[in-house]
Amino acid sequence: MRRTIERVTKQTGFTLLEAMIAMVILSFGILSLATVYAQGIQVASITQFDYIAEKKAEEAVETIFAARDSKLLAWTNIRNVTGTGGANDGVFVVGALPLCAAGPDGLYGTADDLTSVPDVVIIGPGPDKILGTADDVVMSLTNMTRTITIVDVTGEAGLRQITITMNYTVGHLNRQYTLVSFIAEFS
Ligand SMILES: [Ca+2]
């Protein structure tokens, strides 16, 4: 008598459908990680440009104070060329200007600024390992503008308000930094 032995074989492993579902879930995970990473890079970039904007605004204010102290500018010159608080003998150009070299007067935002020499931030010494040479690695600041507005303070003779507004883009984001300072006629 022959006995038929039936073997029940159970196949283990994944079906194609299961594998595909797993891949979809996995890809969602990887994509969300990539988003977090990209956001991290953007935040780092924003922080960097926020800091630069702050320093570039401070730099402009400091040169104005220095020009007053050194008598390079008379009190009547420390104004915009026109507009609110502006005057014919004011020297600061109205509106947003690209960041460039200050020119012969050492002041940012005046008519002699060297637009052909854009301002940059040095981020490395370059192949020669010496800072301040032609091969320095620099970061462009063409994404940034600076607006200098100077107005008289009402009721306070000999006092003016300087507002430096830095506008810049980081990726698709428009950012702004404003520095308000007061300058008196006499230091
Ligand atoms: Ca200048």
Would the pTM count as exceeding 0.75? yes
CB neighbours of 70 closer than 8 A, spacing ≥ 6? none
CA distances in angstroms from 148 to 79, 134, 181, listed in the order given: 9, 30, 11
- Residue (of 176, 151, 173) closest to 161 by Cα position: 151
In which band, very low, low, confident or very high, does the pLDDT at 12 lie, cut at 50, 70 and 90? confident
104 Cα–ligand 1 center, Å: 6
160 Cα–ligand 1 center, Å: 20
Measure the CA–CA gap between 180 and 109, rounded to whole angstroms.
Answer: 16
153 Cα–ligand 1 center, Å: 24
- Beta pairing class for 144-152 and 96-98: antiparallel
113 Cα–ligand 1 center, Å: 4
The tens digit of pLDDT for each residue in 136-154 reads 999 999 999 999 999 999 9
CB contact at 8 A, 112 and 97: no
Measure the CA–CA gap between 40 and 47, rounded to whole angstroms.
Answer: 11
